Amino acid sequence: MAVTIKDIAQEASVSITTVSRVLNDRPDVNAKTRRAVLDAIEKLGYSPSSAARNLVLQKSNVIGFIVPDITNASFPELARGIVSRAKHYGYRVMFFDTQHDSAVEKEAIRLLRSKQVDGIILSFNEANQEELEKLKNERFPVVQIYRKSSTNVISTVALDNHRSAFMGTSYLIEKGHTRIAHITTGYQTQSGKERIAGYRSALESSGIAFDEALLVSGTNQAGSGYACMKALLDLGLPPTAVFVSHDIMAAGAYDAIYERGLRIPEDISILGHDNIEISRLLHPKLTTIDTHKFSLGETGVDLLIEEIAAEFPSDREVVRSTDLVERDSVRSLL
């Protein structure tokens, strides 16, 4: 069996990315690590095939990033992390916005591959899983980021959405809230499903019965958050706290609350998710969950570089945790 870059990485106790750097004669590898990789190459008698040599030495040094909606406030920071990390490896980034259109997603892949990019980072919905399987079968380097598909057919960098929602809901419970609503983007996406599950698990763990009336679904837009919040305020017994799946929806919820002459957090507490720029500009400043989008983008590039250097797709999943950012929009009832 032919020796692969993965074998070299294991022998030298380094990552595939590091082996790629050595083979590329990159300067950002210390002398000791470089020696270990070269010794492993000599010991195992590694000789790159012409196909592997093309991957390692004859690259365009361009990667693609297919974003589903550039107006989504989470993606600019994610893109900044991708560009920064790509630059570290000597790569440039070509962007493509698909506007949540499955047909455009397919066209984006075709166009980027026609430009001979070395790999693609993308965030696809469930409708185009067959495209991901096709890329995998063709051994084209690709990484799914931010969204986690139910089938997970390729290497993925995703958030632990269940834990994130569990943490946020538990925080509200610790503040004395028991009538807690959740404004969500629903069951259409894997992240939406996971956050709903985390919300329900936190309620269950604290002995709080789930109330279907307190779960309202919309889209990731301020106007939708406004409409969802109005529906909650129209209930005979409104919630005392709301966990909102996205900060931009929370901004809309603020408007609905103020329109009713209510106050945040005195009359109702709001907890967001994402920690986008607007969360610090709302009044009061929004308590939210930081998804570390810049770092997430960096990790996506690291994983893609490993895919580019590898002989075969690694199908590796990296799950990133989130952190609560306490500000001023949640009141303690204790």
Query: For 65-110, how does the pLDDT look when each residue is reduced to its tens digit (9 = 90+)?
Result: 998 888 888 889 999 999 999 998 889 999 999 887 888 888 999 8
- Looking at the predicted structure, is the pLDDT value of residue 52 above 50? no
Q: What is the spatial distance between Cα 322 and Cα 274, in angstroms, rounded to a whole number?
A: 9
- Name the residue with tokens 């998710």: 273
The pLDDT of residue 126 is: 62
- Polymer length of the chain: 334
The pLDDT of residue 190 is: 80
Q: What is the spatial distance between Cα 48 and Cα 132, in angstroms, rounded to a whole number?
A: 27
- Looking at the predicted structure, is the pLDDT value of residue 47 above 60? yes
- Looking at the predicted structure, is the pLDDT value of residue 307 above 60? yes
Q: What is the spatial distance between Cα 212 and Cα 139, in angstroms, rounded to a whole number?
A: 44
The pLDDT of residue 54 is: 44
Confidence of residue 53 (pLDDT cuts 50, 70, 90): very low
Q: What is the spatial distance between Cα 278 and Cα 246, in angstroms, rounded to a whole number?
A: 11
Mean pLDDT of the 242-261 span: 97
Q: Which residue has the higher pLDDT, 163 or 23?
A: 163
Q: Which helix (H) or strand (E) segment is 317 a member of?
A: strand 317-320
The pLDDT of residue 55 is: 46
pTM for this predicted structure: 0.81
Q: Which helix (H) or strand (E) segment is 7 a member of?
A: helix 5-12
Q: Which domains does the chain have, with CATH numbers?
A: 5-56 (1.10.260.40), 60-159+293-321 (3.40.50.2300), 161-291 (3.40.50.2300)
The pLDDT of residue 303 is: 93
- Looking at the predicted structure, is the pLDDT value of residue 48 above 60? no
Q: What is the spatial distance between Cα 315 and Cα 121, in angstroms, rounded to a whole number?
A: 14
Of all residues in the chain, what percent carry a pLDDT higher than 90? 60
Structure token digits, residue 299: 């990790």
Mean of all residue pLDDT scores within the chain: 89
- Name the residue with tokens 């919630």: 239
The pLDDT of residue 250 is: 98
Judge contact between 61 and 261, C-beta under 8 A. no
What is the DSSP secondary-structure string of 160-196?
Answer: -HHHHHHHHHHHHHHTT--SEEEEE-GGGSHHHHHHH
Closest by alpha carbon to 68, among 38, 26, 99, 89? Answer: 99
Q: Which residue has the higher pLDDT, 172 or 131?
A: 172
Mean pLDDT of the 256-264 span: 98
Name residue 39's amino acid. Answer: D
Confidence of residue 299 (pLDDT cuts 50, 70, 90): very high
Burial track 264-288 (b if 16+ CB lie within 10 A, e otherwise): bbeebbbbbbbbbebbeebebebbb
Confidence of residue 58 (pLDDT cuts 50, 70, 90): low
The pLDDT of residue 150 is: 62
User: CA dihedral defined by 165, 170, 176, 180, rounded to 10 degrees?
Assistant: 30
How wide is the angle at C-alpha 305 spanned by C-alphas 81 and 136, nearest 5°? 110
The pLDDT of residue 23 is: 76
Please measure the distance between the N-terminal and C-terminal CA atoms of the chain and give it in whole angstroms: 66
- Name the residue with tokens 């019965």: 209
- The sign of the dihedral angle between the CA atoms of 8, 19, 50, 55 is positive
Residue 286 is given by DSSP the state: P
- Per residue in 189-216, pLDDT tens? 788 999 999 999 999 999 999 999 999 9
- Name the residue with tokens 């994983």: 303
Of all residues in the chain, what percent carry a pLDDT higher than 70? 92
Confidence of residue 1 (pLDDT cuts 50, 70, 90): low
- Per residue in 162-189, pLDDT tens? 999 999 999 999 999 999 999 999 987 7
Q: What is the spatial distance between Cα 180 and Cα 173, in angstroms, rounded to a whole number?
A: 8
- Range among 107-116, 132-141, 253-262 with highest mean pLDDT value: 253-262
Q: Which residue has the higher pLDDT, 238 or 57?
A: 238
